[in-house]
Amino acid sequence: MGTEKLQRKDFLKSLTGLSKNKPTSKTENTPPTIDPLFEKYSRKSLGNRQYSETLAVQDGQTEFLNRVGTISSGIAAYTGAWTINEVKHLLNRASYGAKKVDIDALLLQSTSAAVDSLLSFTPNPTLPSAAPLRYDTYTTADGPGYNETVATGADWTTTNIPYTGFGAQYYRRLGHQAWNWGVCINDARSVREKMQLFWYHFIPVGFEDIENIDDRNSATLTHDYMKLLRNNCLGNFKTLLKSISKTPAMLYYLSNHFSTAASPNENFARELLELFTIGKVPQNYTESDIQAASRVLSGWRIVNTGSVYPVVSAFNSAFHNTTGSRLFSSNFGNQSIPAGTNPDTKAAEFDAFFEMLFSQQATTIAKYICRRLYRFFVYYDIDTNIEANVITPLANLLITYNWEISPVLSTLLKSEHFYDIANRGVMIKSPTDMIIGLIRSLNVNTASTLGTTETQYPIWLYFQSYSYNYLEQGFGNPPTVAGWKAYYQDPAYYQNWINSETVQRRENLIKAFLNGFTLYGNPIKIDVLSYASQFPTTDVADPNTLVNTFIQYLLPKDIPASYKAQIKNSALLGGTGNDANWTTAWNNYVSSPFNTTYINVVTPKLRALLQTILTFAEYQLM
């Protein structure tokens, strides 16, 4: 690397291809220097994995290394090294971010025990509270619709608003979204919130869509839906899907509530087969199967939309179609589900349909679910080796355990394949992974200094708004019934998170965390001194060890030694090349931690080091 200046130090330049010599006039035609990482992120074809423990970086002299090779590891239990690198990989994928305290705790356990601990949790959150609370202070005097029936700071999730209340529903929805961020930020070590997001992107309902349909109960309906996903996130898929099919939020969202005997609505039946169970490829169903399913599933209605909590659904034979064909194709063994002759047998068609679906299409459904899990937790590229060595045995396991998700996820997270070096540092972080992971791993304090609900929720809501408006992902705001493209859309997958707008916004937020900003009177800032002080003093005092440590904890893989040397010299040594400069400065601070002079010497150096690392394009990988 020689004496060349550090390349790709600026995240925006690195991902958008803008060099420091970019044209200064619109009339100039000099093309920008294209950075290879942006080329990787923006390509529209699948790439092969790279077998290396070190991230390939551009040094201005050597060609960027593309991922090469195939991967043959399977679901046999991982028996390799259990170090910071493996624990960090597990925590980043199975939860949000890898906090040092969590890494230290899991290092003391075996791989199997560590995974078991992440899969063992209470269904309902305890932090920041068991349920979202009312955070607004509007009253009916503020205008129509502000007819909230619970006090500010109280749990509204079991209280419906008995008459039209769009304003109250709106603020309940925002409060629910803000609380969800608070849960993720404050959660203990567990896979619960990641699994809730997995099911939500897989089988979503749009919060605003429900709100536009039912302005009396939309917030409790969507909260009940998310609670259903959270409480059953590691449970039985077949049972969960049957519950989802009858839950009021889904009945509204995919219009089965509006199905009639004369005109069965096909929306839910179509998505049930195409998105939630079988998938588009191979298309093991026909248009007539969708029509038959819509007839069988008709009649399930929300029965008390304007009543007290809870809003429930029930079978209503008056809306159930009994005249159309219920003969399914050869994909379902040419099975027919007869129309019932009384209310009891008509409702029983629902169970008969799901029994047929899961028996006739068991292998297809199991492989489809396992591919979705794989692309969410491991990587998007599923070649023939991975199909044979990972997907098929996991699918067999899912069928063997009668659709229980926990044993399948446990096997995947404990497998040699999950910890294969080819699967590390290859996933572009989702917006929620990036923001929540940064807050958690760098111990950013997002608590309101006033400690009240009405001051705390707007802080969390800021991150929801930023993520949704600028980074294209927000809790409760799926773009379509298919969820977010990054989790399923061939061929780009995770690359969908990256474009010229979102990379700027990602960098802006990272720099804001480093430099500090104020939200509703609350300072939000990475405390660089506190972060560094987590590590042994002797490690921090040695600039080489310090750079190595920060990189090990914050980047998904190591980077070349020559690159580290340049980072160290630039951030910690002031370009002098003398390690003693940093060692003396840190030891002075440790000897007198309240001395303003010493603080002012080490703080900007630590901030420069963190900024260099956090604005690497590599930080956006996990």
Q: What pLDDT sits at residue 288?
A: 96
**pTM (2 decimals)?**
0.90
| Angle made by CA atoms 70, 73, 75, in degrees to the nearest 5 | 145
Find, among 376, 429, 425, the residue nearest to 620 by Cα. 429
Q: Please report, for residues 206, 299, 325, 564, the alpha-carbon distance to residue 258 in angstroms, rounded to integers and kept in the order given.
A: 17, 9, 20, 61
**119 HSE (CA, 13 A, CB side):** 19
Sequence-ordered list of residues with C-beta below 8 angstroms from that of 363, at least 6 positions apart, any chain: 395, 399
| Angle made by CA atoms 618, 426, 42, in degrees to the nearest 5 | 75
What is the spatial distance between Cα 169 and Cα 162, in angstroms, rounded to a whole number? 12
Q: How many independent structural domains does the chain possess?
A: 1
Judge whether 468 lies within some domain.
no
Judge whether 98 lies within some domain.
no
Judge whether 596 lies within some domain.
yes
Judge whether 535 lies within some domain.
yes
Q: What pLDDT sits at residue 62?
A: 35
Judge whether 580 lies within some domain.
yes
Which letter does DSSP use for residue 621 in this model?
A: B
What is the spatial distance between Cα 340 and Cα 353, in angstroms, rounded to a whole number? 13
What values do phi and psi take at 543, rounded to 5?
-60, -30
Q: Which H or E run contains 314?
A: strand 313-315
Low-confidence ranges of the chain (pLDDT < 70): 1-69, 163-165, 306
Contact 48, 70 (CB under 8 A): yes
- What is the Cα 388 distance to its own chain's centre? 27
Please list the alpha-helical segments (H only) found in 476-578.
500-515, 528-533, 537-541, 543-554, 561-571
**368 HSE (CA, 13 A, CB side):** 21
Q: Please report, for residues 413, 427, 437, 479, 534, the alpha-carbon distance to residue 114 in angstroms, rounded to integers and kept in the order given.
A: 10, 22, 19, 35, 22
Radius of gyration of the chain (CA): 26
Q: What's the token pair of residue 308?
A: 């007290």
Q: What pLDDT sits at residue 11?
A: 34
What is the spatial distance between Cα 199 and Cα 183, in angstroms, rounded to a whole number? 17
CB-count exposure of residue 46 (10 Å: 0-12, 13-18, 19+): middle
Which letter does DSSP use for residue 387 in this model?
A: I
In one-letter notation, the amino acid at residue 5 is: K
Judge whether 613 lies within some domain.
yes
What is the spatial distance between Cα 431 and Cα 464, in angstroms, rounded to a whole number? 10
Which structural domain, as residue segments, surrounds residue 604?
Answer: 529-620
Q: What's the token pair of residue 496?
A: 């969908």
- What is the Cα 393 distance to its own chain's centre? 25
Judge whether 520 lies within some domain.
no
End-to-end Cα spacing for the chain: 26
Judge whether 70 lies within some domain.
no
Q: Which H or E run contains 522?
A: strand 522-524
Q: Please report, for residues 155, 390, 417, 509, 511, the alpha-carbon distance to residue 374 in angstroms, rounded to integers and kept in the order given.
A: 36, 9, 11, 29, 32
Q: What pLDDT sits at residue 345?
A: 79
